[in-house]
């Protein structure tokens, strides 16, 4: 049950970091969102075997981590589940390729692409609150309903974790000495969990509407951000640099130059 | 009609067709009144509050709040005039920090940042929890959570504020604190509860509901201390009276 407390605490602290003051936190959310999407698209567009090219893209990550003072340790810890999944899928790559060495390069390329995309997303969420990300999506003319759904899913995760916690606590109270939830109870457990979560989510949605949420969506009444010079520069510099690194094999050129 | 906060006329409502929870109900609540709504479990106390703020649609008859008819169109106005404190504070506070939750309402209504901060400060002050401003909701005790959820509603500065079972889950100390906070609130208050002592301490007027609608409406003392009436509707006299 401690696991749930940890998860809650972790989400909580991510949110707190996002609302912290700092130059990357205060940057226009739309700019951060665009740079992140741009970055991930370019990273993914590399073929799996273009390892040096892929690695050269880490420049963006390194600079963000250093300049915004983001902890790499915390990032690895929080994202460990996703990273592990990438590791497994990448490993499968080796098994299914004809030649072992191309398989390994492919897996490494895939793994780097995955890890780097995850890191880029992490930089976004650790410096931007979910509300700001949603505002940015709306500025990109993503339909209001879709944005609401995204926001609700984010809130649902909270609710789901809490409800799972409550339900499993009551389960363990009634079945002392058991390590996990007995497989026979799983179906009912899941069904019950779903019903409870829907019920809770509905109440949360009611209370959001009591505070004028629906009305804001309908009237388009949104918080105003100023697109400052700093934000614009961040946008242009990074879209430029990322594109250049994608098109020109910068690492190889530098390497060749150093090698004479 | 100007001195009425809530007017209900010939209102009928059912969740399941023809299984009416309210039938031709009439009720008028003056501005500034504190009204307790009591009745056994399942008589429709929560439903009544939810109807008033438009969380349940499809009633027949007439409901108006601060002179505004409750219809789908008027909901934003109605909800700015009448706030609703949910029975479970966790549903009311879905953001991680107290401050953000309290600011959620004002920001939806398009206020400027300074104005929002002022609303938050005032609401936290009225509930006496300024010191919890920066805290995470997960770290609050039950009593603190209840007060914080009340602050969320107060931030919109409603004329009317409704509470659904506010004292349930509170320990005696927090319960007393809540009574004190409610006593200081200068608003029209509607409190649904089966905690009769709590109603006795907070409300001048009490409405007794049963399966057949309003069976009694009058001064809290007169109703809550009437043994025959209370037991007839499945309730017990307040403990403070029994103790004497
Ligand atoms: N969503 C719903 N669908 C159908 N019936 C409901 C629903 N909510 C409440 N009820 C029924 O309406 C009646 C009144 O409920 P409620 O207002 O919650 O009572 P109270 O708050 O007085 O305990 C109960 O009999 C309950 O079973
Ligand atoms: Mg109820």
pLDDT, tens digit (0-9, with 9 covering 90-100), for B21-40: 999 999 999 999 999 999 98
Range with lowest mean pLDDT among B8-12, B169-173, B240-244: B240-244
pLDDT at B123: 96
Q: Is residue A80 part of a domain?
A: yes
User: In Å, what is the CA distance from B33 to each residue of B92, B189, B206?
Assistant: 25, 6, 10
* Chain B CB within 8 Å of residue A196 CB: no
Of all atoms in ligand 1, which is nearest to the CA of residue B164? 21
- The C-alpha atoms of residue B223 and residue B215 are separated, in whole angstroms, by 10
Report the pocket of ligand 1 as residue ranges, CB < 6 Å.
B 15-16, 21, 39, 41-47
**Contact predicate B231/B223, CB 8 Å:** no
Q: Is residue A154 part of a domain?
A: yes
Residues A168 and A84 reside in one and the same domain: no
Q: Is residue A75 part of a domain?
A: yes
Protein residue with least CA distance to atom 2, ligand 1? B15
**Contact predicate B204/B33, CB 8 Å:** yes
Whole-complex ipTM: 0.85
Q: Is residue A260 part of a domain?
A: no
Percent of chain B with pLDDT strictly greater than 90: 68
pLDDT at A1: 42
Residues A47 and A108 reside in one and the same domain: yes
- The C-alpha atoms of residue B4 and residue A37 are separated, in whole angstroms, by 55
Q: Is residue A259 part of a domain?
A: no
- Higher model confidence: residue B72 or residue A189? B72
Chain B: closest CA distance from residue A201 (Å): 8
Residues A52 and A175 reside in one and the same domain: no
pLDDT at A113: 92
Q: Do B96 and A11 touch (CB under 8 A)?
A: yes
Percent of chain A with pLDDT strictly greater than 70: 82
Q: How confident is the model at residue A36 (pLDDT cuts 50, 70, 90)?
A: very high
Which of A9, A208, A219 lies nearest to residue B94, judging by beta carbons? A208
Residues A33 and A137 reside in one and the same domain: yes
Residues A136 and A147 reside in one and the same domain: no
Q: Do B96 and A16 touch (CB under 8 A)?
A: yes
Of all atoms in ligand 1, which is nearest to the CA of residue B50? 17
Residues A75 and A19 reside in one and the same domain: yes
Looking at the structure of chain A, the number of domains it has is: 2
Q: Is residue A65 part of a domain?
A: yes
Residues A31 and A127 reside in one and the same domain: yes
Average pLDDT (A218-241) is 78
Residue A203 pLDDT > 90, yes or no? no
pLDDT tens digits, B48-64? 999 999 999 899 999 99
- Higher model confidence: residue A252 or residue B66? B66
This prediction has a pTM of 0.71
pLDDT at A188: 79
Residues A120 and A249 reside in one and the same domain: yes
Protein residue with least CA distance to atom 3, ligand 1? B15
Average pLDDT (B174-188) is 93
Residues A35 and A56 reside in one and the same domain: yes
Protein residue with least CA distance to atom 7, ligand 1? B15
pLDDT at B67: 92
Residues A14 and A61 reside in one and the same domain: yes
Residues A12 and A50 reside in one and the same domain: yes
**Contact predicate B13/B63, CB 8 Å:** no
Q: Do B94 and A16 touch (CB under 8 A)?
A: no
Residues A132 and A69 reside in one and the same domain: yes
- The C-alpha atoms of residue B83 and residue B171 are separated, in whole angstroms, by 24
Average pLDDT (A202-206) is 82
Q: Is residue A44 part of a domain?
A: yes
Please list, in sequence order, all residues whose beta carbon lies within 8 angstroms of the beta carbon of residue A242, skipping any fewer than 6 positions away.
A35, A38, A39, A42, A57, A60
- Which token pair is B159? 């004329």
- The parent domain of residue A242 ranges over 1-142+224-254
Q: Is residue A123 part of a domain?
A: yes
Q: How confident is the model at residue A87 (pLDDT cuts 50, 70, 90)?
A: confident
Q: Do A16 and B104 touch (CB under 8 A)?
A: no
pLDDT tens digits, B210-244? 888 899 999 999 999 888 888 888 887 787 777 65
């Amino acid at each position: 049950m401690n696991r749930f407390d940890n998860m809650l605490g972790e989400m909580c602290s991510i949110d707190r970091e996002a609302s912290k003051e700092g130059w990357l936190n205060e940057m226009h959310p739309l700019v951060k969102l665009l740079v992140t999407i741009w970055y991930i698209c370019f990273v993914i567009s590399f073929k799996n075997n273009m390892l040096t090219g892929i690695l050269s893209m880490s420049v963006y990550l390194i600079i963000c981590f250093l300049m915004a003072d983001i902890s790499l340790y915390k990032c690895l810890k929080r994202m460990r589940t996703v990273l592990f999944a990438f590791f497994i899928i990448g490993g499968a790559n080796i098994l299914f390729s004809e030649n072992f060495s191309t398989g390994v390069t492919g897996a490494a390329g895939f793994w780097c692409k995955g890890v780097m995309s995850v890191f880029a997303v992490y930089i976004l969420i650790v410096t931007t609150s979910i509300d700001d990300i949603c505002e940015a999506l709306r500025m990109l003319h993503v339909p209001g309903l879709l944005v609401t759904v995204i926001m609700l899913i984010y809130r649902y995760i909270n609710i789901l974790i809490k409800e799972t916690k409550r339900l499993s606590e009551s389960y363990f109270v009634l079945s002392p000495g058991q390590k996990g939830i007995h497989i026979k109870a799983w179906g009912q457990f899941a069904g019950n969990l779903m019903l409870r979560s829907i019920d809770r989510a509905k109440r949360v949605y009611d209370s959001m509407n009591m505070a004028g949420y629906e009305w804001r969506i309908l009237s388009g009444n949104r918080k105003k951000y100023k697109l400052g010079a700093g934000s614009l520069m961040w946008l242009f510099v990074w879209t430029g640099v990322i594109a250049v690194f994608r098109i020109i094999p910068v690492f190889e050129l530098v390497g060749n130059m150093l090698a004479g | 009609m100007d001195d009425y906060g809530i007017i209900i006329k010939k209102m009928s409502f059912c969740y399941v067709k023809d299984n009416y929870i309210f039938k031709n109900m009439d009720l008028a609540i003056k501005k500034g009144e504190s009204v307790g709504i009591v009745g056994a479990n399942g008589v429709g106390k929560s439903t009544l509050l939810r109807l008033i703020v438009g969380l349940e649609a499809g009633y027949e008859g007439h409901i108006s709040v601060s002179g505004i008819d409750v219809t789908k169109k008027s909901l934003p106005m109605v909800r700015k005039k009448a706030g609703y404190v949910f029975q479970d504070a966790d549903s009311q506070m879905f953001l991680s920090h107290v401050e953000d939750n309290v600011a959620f309402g004002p920001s939806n209504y398009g206020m400027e940042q300074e104005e929002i901060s002022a609303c938050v400060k005032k609401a936290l002050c009225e509930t006496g929890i300024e010191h919890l401003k920066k805290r995470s909701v997960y770290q609050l005790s039950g009593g603190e959570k209840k007060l914080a959820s009340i602050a969320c509603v107060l931030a919109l500065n409603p004329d009317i504020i409704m509470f659904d079972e506010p004292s349930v889950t509170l320990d005696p100390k927090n319960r007393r604190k809540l009574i004190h906070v409610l006593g200081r609130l200068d608003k029209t208050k509607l409190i649904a509860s089966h905690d009769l002592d709590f109603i006795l301490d907070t409300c001048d007027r009490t409405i007794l509901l049963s399966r057949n609608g309003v069976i009694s409406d009058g001064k809290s003392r007169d109703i809550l201390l009437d043994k025959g009436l209370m037991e007839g509707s499945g309730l017990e006299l307040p403990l403070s009276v029994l103790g004497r």
